[in-house]
Structure 1
């Protein structure tokens, strides 16, 4: 065969120079080294420093600059982006969250927020209010440069239970719509987190508020007619959807549920970096505490998942709270569950029991100040 033969040249280039046309050669044996060592597990996500407090989100008043000055002044280690529902439509939890949705629009109707074909006045108002809040928060954070900040939105199940489809039925009644809303929320949250991180220079923690989740799991939400209830969502389905959303957000995610019997195990199992509860409820305190809920806290702590522990009253209490009494409530919980008090600073971040929108301005300031003092008390139980 001529050395100028193009076929011979191609065979030689492929290492098959000694193979005649029409012949085949068995493949060369390949040696593949496979390590018996398991993949290195992904380390736990870094969390906020020990011995700090923070707010839940909502505050009284209508001035975002005053509210941002309040949270950065009283909880400078971990300020929460203020929510001011007193401003009306678009400043409420559902309206603020709806403003973050991507490619989904809602509007206010007499019964609730409802899906609509295109963004209108209500959604524009929601987004304008959020923009003003971020400007004010950015300016306030610029004076203290916090390492950590927190933002709050409605979780997917509370959102689906609170928004109506065009038919008037809850989004919750259509599982396809629930997934669509969750995907839209995830996309909007990723952009929101990136913006807040860029503006503040801080690590952003996302708080998903799920006050409606227990009713979703119990099947106790009324239908549009009022003559029945929306069918129950199985706990595994609720957990899977939360896990999917949490896994798609590049930030630590807290799931907060201030209802009477929050599904603590479900929230922790869904991948939450922490679980927020109202620990002042009778189901958690004293002789009325329910063993299964206390067990759920103990199991969650055993797994290293901290709680945002709501110990401070959200409205004016009968008497002025004292840090020692509040700290004792946290220590008693640790003692009852068999945890060293010195671990409380890592296992619990003290917060108000729930939002402070119903408190007076003075009461809200005092509650945030006490949460910070309580965090310090957890860090030094001997003192």
Structure 2
């Protein structure tokens, strides 16, 4: 069966990888050089379209390595990104290996990053710049390699793209005898350079997108701190709401029967749900302190006014009692004066105690709790009572106070 050029592209709607067998399965050997070049350029175009839609840096780097390996028919590939702050190259995707980090001017990748020129090594172990320690660590045997710079539109190095071991095709017998196998050719260099340029732009976009996401996450975190600092009694509430809401969304997403069977949430929608849940109390930031931390039915100033009114009622009762005592001295029989005065004092004491008890009941109603049976009726009775003020009779409770204190809980 003739070999086929197989490219891989990513559908942005579901991120599945699809093989493309160009020209209905015609192999490389069946194509003349011009057709083969056109086909590879089409592959590069498809790859560029796929990369331009991917915003997740980790996924993007894996895609780039796979596309690079596929385009030049290599066994393995790696990407080394340039960390400008530390002047280091690091690999987040090295097929078959863990993350690698080293100075940006060391090794073959460092040489390519410094010179901005591709480096094609037909026999890795014959080149003094090759470090065989990586092979020893991974168990992989490098035969040949092609390394190209990934340059941005400003001609700045974003990273280095490296592929290892050109597929030997029908020359496996030579490789098994220790030969390095067929090297990467000039066309491979050209294709990988073209892919590297597209990859550089995609990586810069993905990094920028990631930085924007981090800034937004920072804004979310700062907003949550601002929200919860306004009301310490609900500390952690925003996070708990987000956890519960996302948990419910995940459960709904997994349901395959019933009215929610067709309801699904993708990654971006789950992020939106999390953000909305974290910021659901954002309005607290603009609410005045005395309103936000109000723990009772009446505001503190309203409670103070209520207490002052009842103090005035008590003073009014004492004033009325004194006026009645004066009348006793003036108009009663001197032999009955002492008895009448004692009776007035006793009556005043009962009325003062009754006033204090009413205030205690009202303060108890002010606490957010379920009122006892008959509590609402008694509130209405108290509101109907009046006392003498400077400008005429006044009610024990104002209409707004009655409404607030009548709140069930």
TM-score, normalised on structure 1? Answer: 0.21
TM-score, normalised on structure 2? Answer: 0.20
Q: Which structure carries more relative contact order (alpha carbon 8 Å, separation 6+)?
A: 1
